[in-house]
Amino acid sequence: MRVGLLGFGTVGSSFAEVLAAQPGSGVRITRIFNRGVGRKRSHEKARLVPAEAVWTEHVEEVLEAADVDVVVELLGGLDPAERWLQAALLAGRHVVTANKQLIAYRGAALFALAAEKGVQLLYGAAVAGGVPVIPGVAQGLSGDRLTRISGILNGTCNFILSSMESGAEYQGALGRAQAAGYAEADPSADVDGFDARAKLCILARLALHAEIDPEEIPAQTIATISAVDFSYAQELGCTLRQVSRAELVDGMVSAGVGPMLVPRSSPFAWSQGTRNMVVTSGLFGGDVVFSGHGAGGHPTAVAVLSDVRAIAENSVQVRLPAHRMKVVGDVLAPHYLRFVVADEPGIVAAIAAVLARHQVNIDSLLQHRGHPAARLPFVITTEPCLSSTVTRAIAEMAQMAFMVQPPLCLQMLVADDPETV
């Protein structure tokens, strides 16, 4: 199987390293496209590429080459990656990609083109890095009727939040993630949930047979989380993680991405560092948990090479039809509300009055000592209610004069959810 590699960055160079460690695999790199080829050829891992491989700054020399059987795209983004992979498929080349944005936004059209041309388009590295959740769901669980999929899909956010669990503030934890190479200089795609919701769309198509638009999925940032939230969460028997969830409900998909309080008994609470975790819930097979490293060049390269070898062995992925479905972001759940106020008499009564007007019942009130009166944090948890109802109440509270910063509202996963057992 002769590989034309698009991109020799972190994952591309790791792919060369992983492949070199498996002599006799029957897979060989024949061409590499990258801008600044001279610089890339001086990379220490470039010595692991076969000496006869052609390096080029012209992508057509890969896409149109007679000595390329499969195009491996490791560049990311929608454009020009979409055009290049279309050209590869039209030319009768198999394609392997780790590009979650491309598969989430343009996957349906690319799959149709691949089927028309009788070639394969595999994307096992697009979700959870080296964790085989894509082939696991496609092959191992295709016999079940999956009704829900949830997970920790972004290793960067998991690294930040599990660091904050030890007392770090957000900016410090983000800085460490950037220094370690887990977060970009502009971390918004990760911390604001856009990366995770693209992955959630891919999983929803595969597991729930639901074609959904990533832009329709509500995404909440983790940037508003503070160390004090972990302190209150601990008192509630919980911790915080960025959780992505999609569930079939009355012919629609209830979906969302954001930081949530998860019980300490939940597998999500056990996930530390850059580890990813995916939980599928099936009508017949029950819950299945996938877990492993979701960030970094080596885990992702393992998934890429696994896809290439699957094509080399003529392994055909099970494909079931997906149908366009409407996304519903409103969820019935208990909520965690954290306020930071300039202390004065009547604050709790004023907040309780707003919640009562919106028919939201208070479950508990928590306030720790030792904080200055000018910036006093405290927490109210609610009984299960619709997230849209709480959002309206929060918008009203945010206008109150004693609020020092906007209130924080997070969903709470409850202990009888299957993925918390």
**Residue 306 DSSP SS3:** helix
Is the link from the previous residue into 377 a cis peptide, with omega within 30 of 0? Answer: no
What are the CA-CA distances from residue 36 to residues 58, 61, 63, 321 (Å)?
Answer: 11, 15, 18, 41
6: CB partners within 8 A, 6+ apart: 12, 33, 34, 59, 62, 71, 72, 73, 74, 75, 81, 84
161 CB-contact burial (10 Å; exposed 0-12 / middle 13-18 / buried 19+): buried
User: Is residue 199 among the annotated active site residues?
Assistant: yes
Rounded distance, CA 179 to CA 163, Å? 14
Which of 45, 117, 199, 326 is labelled catalytic?
199
128 contacts 292 by C-beta, under 8 angstroms: yes
Nearest to 44 by CA among 24, 16, 2: 16
Closest by CA to 3, choosing from 25, 29, 23, is: 29
- Cβ 131 vs Cβ 278: under 8 Å: yes
Closest CA to 241 of 158, 340, 153: 158
Q: List CB contacts of 236: < 8 A, sequence separation 6 or more.
A: 261, 336, 364, 366, 381, 412
Distance, in Å, from the CA atom of 295 to the CA atom of 149, rounded to the nearest integer, reads 20
| Rama region for 366: left / alpha / beta (φ>0; ψ in -120 to 50; rest) | beta
Q: How far is CA 262 from the centre of its chain?
A: 17
Q: Per the structure block, which two tokens stand in for 35?
A: 């801008």
Say which DSSP state 53 is in.
Answer: P
Placement of tokens 């989380």 in the chain:
225
Q: CA dihedral defined by 159, 161, 166, 168, rounded to 10 degrees?
A: 100
Query: Active-site residue numbers?
Result: 199
